[in-house]
């Protein structure tokens, strides 16, 4: 009876598992996909960093180029000294304050 049971068990096909090559191939594929994700992330980060540097330098260059250097030209030049003609003075020159004699000093 045991022998018949063993023979019946041997005739039934057992589900096949993965072969060694299939397991290796899955592991290789998994590692490759991880490496590719890491590589893409790294490349994207580098590209974004470089793009940021380019944008920053472009903004600075535009700011320097657009700096208003015409401020000096807005300041008017110093005016010329006017020619002043002195009027003719017809009033005779005389002292502004009249001198009074000092009565206290006795002189």
pLDDT tens digits, one per residue of 4-15: 666 667 666 666
The pLDDT assigned to 34 comes to 97
pTM above 0.75, yes or no: no
The answer on pLDDT for 107 being more than 60 is no
The answer on pLDDT for 27 being more than 90 is yes
State the alpha helices, DSSP H only, in the chain. Answer: 2-11, 20-65, 71-74
Tens-place pLDDT, residues 49-103 = 999 999 999 999 988 888 766 666 677 888 999 998 888 888 888 888 888 777 7
The pLDDT assigned to 88 comes to 85
DSSP code for 75: S
Q: What distance, in Å, lies between the first and last C-alpha atoms of the chain? A: 171
């Amino acid at each position: 009876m045991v022998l018949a049971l063993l023979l019946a068990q041997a005739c039934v096909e057992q589900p096949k598992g993965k072969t060694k090559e299939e397991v290796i191939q899955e592991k290789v594929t998994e590692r490759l996909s991880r490496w590719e994700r890491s590589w893409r992330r790294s490349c994207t980060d580098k590209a974004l960093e470089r793009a940021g540097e380019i944008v920053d330098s472009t903004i600075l260059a535009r700011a320097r180029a657009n700096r208003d250097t015409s401020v000096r030209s807005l300041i008017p030049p110093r005016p010329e000294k006017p020619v002043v003609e002195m009027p003719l003075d017809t009033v005779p020159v005389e002292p502004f304050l009249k001198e009074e004699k000092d009565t206290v000093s006795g002189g």
